Amino acid sequence: MTEKPASSSASYAAAGVDTAAGDLAVELMKSAVSRTHTPEVFGGVGGFAGLFDVSALKAFHHPLLATSTDGVGTKVAIAQAIDKHDTIGQDLVGMVVDDIIVVGAKPLFMTDYIACGKVVPARIAEIVTGIARACEATGTALVGGETAEHPGLLAPDDYDVAGAAVGAVEADAVLGADRVRDGDVVVALASSGLHSNGFSLVRHILAQNGIGFTDRSDSFGGQVGEALLEPTRLYTAPLLKVLQDPALAGAIHSLSHVTGGGIAANLARVLPLGSWVEVDRSTWSPTPVFRILSDLAGSTLESSEGTWNLGVGMFAVVAADKAAAVIAAVEAEGIHAWTAGTVSTASRDLAGFEQGAKGVDGGAVRLVGAYAE
């Protein structure tokens, strides 16, 4: 007697992949994703490809598409350790969409990718719901995504997230180093904490001190892992308001998202060759989490300036006569902002400055002074 061949789904399940769990995850996240869909989105949730109506670009004189892709790094290890997954999505959107606003583009749509050892529907739904909430806050349609189960490659509770987004900007409105002028003011926008960079160093420091993510600590104000998962601040919507305000037209010349590489290197990327800035540390006090981690490491805040944002999530290089108005507009959106330096093109010795970064022949930046207490 010949046995009936196993179905393909049963064979896949035997290999460790549960397609039914994936379907359930989609159902759980469906309403959150749908809330990000503007009239430009066609086809709803679950298609092979996301469809977005770009006929609005006909109103542009010379439209350029802006795109960005990123992940959140080893911050996911903390989310996994304390089984809290509802903020990682905002981190992802912040890392991707806030790179698009840097060139002055309005984000249009985003897709996400989650690789995991095992699909746990509620967990996947938490992650994607967080992505959707942040997409909604930044005016970005979440038009598609993929959840891939990788048994044997990833442990059952392991996962990683990544995403990509597309935006649009008029060619003559692109922000960048070419707009920056001598005397421009460098405005710093406060971060909400670590955002999504430098977590390999964070994990190393905690391990060296025997501190677990589930431990409770008065210094961290509660559970260590939960404090470290403070979600990335989103800058897109507030900055779009400034860029679209007729009274502030042309005020912002360039923007810098302070992510991997730290403070000086990221600012140098959006300054013209031959210019320099001394960022004054005394104009702000780094968020407490940075002081706690530096103390645990037995190091200085200055030594981590190339790894952590130390309280500055974004820089805006602004026309001097509009700096006060830009700061007021950003603060009205709930983000603390302040003057941190001034662009100069005067000839000087640039020893000790960070000059350009990531293949960009940009300006030169160094941090000076001592941090405010």
For range 236-241, the mean pLDDT? 97
Lowest-confidence segment of 20-34, 111-125, 344-358 by average pLDDT = 20-34
For tokens 């037209």, what's the residue? 249
Coil, helix or strand at residue 90: helix
What single string gives the DSSP state of each residue in 327-361?
HHHHHHTT--EEEEEE-B-S----TT-EEEETTEE
Q: What pLDDT band is residue 53 in, cutting at 50, 70 and 90? A: confident
Statement: residue 304 has pLDDT above 90: yes
For range 315-327, the mean pLDDT? 98
Question: What is the spatial distance between Cα 270 and Cα 335, in angstroms, rounded to a whole number?
Answer: 21
pLDDT digits (tens, 9 = 90+) for 83-118: 999 999 999 999 999 999 999 999 999 999 999 999
Provide the H-helix boundaries in 85-179.
Answer: 88-100, 121-138
For range 33-43, the mean pLDDT? 75
User: Which pLDDT value is given to residue 356?
Assistant: 74
For range 352-362, the mean pLDDT? 83
User: Which pLDDT value is given to residue 5?
Assistant: 38
Of 333, 300, 108, 322, nearest to 234 by C-alpha is 333
Of 138, 129, 146, nearest to 108 by C-alpha is 138
pLDDT digits (tens, 9 = 90+) for 135-172: 999 999 999 888 899 999 999 999 999 999 999 999 99
| Sheet of 106-116, strand order | 63-71, 159-170, 106-116, 141-149
Provide the H-helix boundaries in the chain.
Answer: 8-14, 19-34, 75-82, 88-100, 121-138, 199-208, 224-228, 236-244, 262-268, 288-297, 323-332
Task: Kindly report the pTM of this predicted structure.
Answer: 0.90
pLDDT digits (tens, 9 = 90+) for 255-298: 999 998 889 999 999 999 999 999 999 999 999 999 999 999 99
Handedness of CA 144, 150, 154, 158 (dihedral sign): positive
Lowest-confidence segment of 6-10, 60-64, 123-127, 165-169 by average pLDDT = 6-10
User: Which pLDDT value is given to residue 51?
Assistant: 86
Q: Is 349 exposed, middle or buried (0-12, 13-18, 19+ CB in 10 A)?
A: exposed
Coil, helix or strand at residue 244: helix
User: Which pLDDT value is given to residue 176?
Assistant: 97
Question: What is the spatial distance between Cα 271 and Cα 58, in angstroms, rounded to a whole number?
Answer: 32
Report which DSSP code applies to 151: B
**Tokens representing residue 256 in the block:** 């810098």
Handedness of CA 12, 13, 18, 20 (dihedral sign): positive
Question: What is the spatial distance between Cα 197 and Cα 199, in angstroms, rounded to a whole number?
Answer: 6
Question: What is the spatial distance between Cα 112 and Cα 289, in angstroms, rounded to a whole number?
Answer: 29
Q: What pLDDT band is residue 2 in, cutting at 50, 70 and 90? A: very low
How high is the mean pLDDT of the chain? 91
Q: What pLDDT band is residue 128 in, cutting at 50, 70 and 90? A: very high
